[in-house]
Amino acid sequence: MPAFDPELAALMEVPPAAPANAGPPHIPTVAEMRAHFDHHVSQPFRAYQKPLLPAESAYTLRDEKVAVEGGEITVRTVVPVVEDGHETFPVFVNIHGGGWSVGSIELDDYFLRKLTVDLKLTTVNVEYRLAPEHPFPTAVNDCLTALKWVVQNTPLLKADLTKGFLVGGHSAGANLSAVLAHETRDDPFFAGPGRQLTGQVIREPCVIHPDAYPEELKPVLRAMEENKDMPPLPRAIIELLISFYKPPSADPRFSLLLYASHAGVAPAFVQGMELDPLRDDARAYADALAAAGVAVRHIQYPGVSHGFHYNYPAIKIAVKVREELVQGIRWLLGKDV
């Protein structure tokens, strides 16, 4: 059995074992999960990132309202401030994690401000609507509308999408980003230079419903069982979050390994964690893209579990995960080999 990274093991809160007569385990509500996520995920990461923020004079931040079917969503845009006021930038569209049901644009906000200044690119952070109030496919549709909004608002963003048009996210955000890479490939709206995605940043993704594993992939997709009890995201919580989102198990807009083809989607940088129930989702997605002739880089990190770098952002391997994330983005932008 692989061991946890020693730094991570020393910090992790291991829940006490339930007594034999404890009865069925408590099933958390959405409200409880949102409160837990804010306290144990968002707050530690924002607190760590706050001292690293660039000067406010180095970027402009705006929250924009984008009309979607049945309402509106917010996108937070961060644009570099440079001496040449006419300079244009590539764009990275970020889709936050949280099991399609929790989290917000605040999670990655400070990190994206620093990324904007360090890499000289515009970031767009999408506040898609959450399940269970807004079940599948609302999140897909909201994020697709946000991508179209980017294409239609390049002057506002000081953007030149021929320099780079990336979409990416963590966990549920990675699922949505990979779906968008396929949906935009097939959508005539995104045809032509300056409209096509040029990269996808896929961090610890769920790429197929646990009930929809194809027979040929069952020997490969072992982590959901092997790592089913690994904190902080055991299989039972993954299945609960999926039940809130309510996707049909075989719909490729959730189970994106089931798209008829992966050929022609944007190149991908993929990160996975050895002790994550979703470990093999990351590898299977990278392998499927490579088999379809798509340029892909995949890194798996030993001794760590799902999203640990948000909960414990200061440990060495969390720093390494973020450093290599930035390197992966640079690679997709053609700034690094």
Known catalytic residue at 306:
yes
Q: Which of 276, 280, 298, 305 is catalytic?
A: 276
Q: Which of 170, 262, 306, 309 is catalytic?
A: 306
| Tokens coding 311 | 């909960």
| Residues ≥6 apart with Cβ < 8 Å to 306 | 171, 204, 230, 232, 233, 273, 276, 277, 278
Q: Which of 104, 171, 177, 255 is catalytic?
A: 171
Known catalytic residue at 280:
no
Known catalytic residue at 276:
yes
- Residues annotated as catalytic are 171, 276, 306
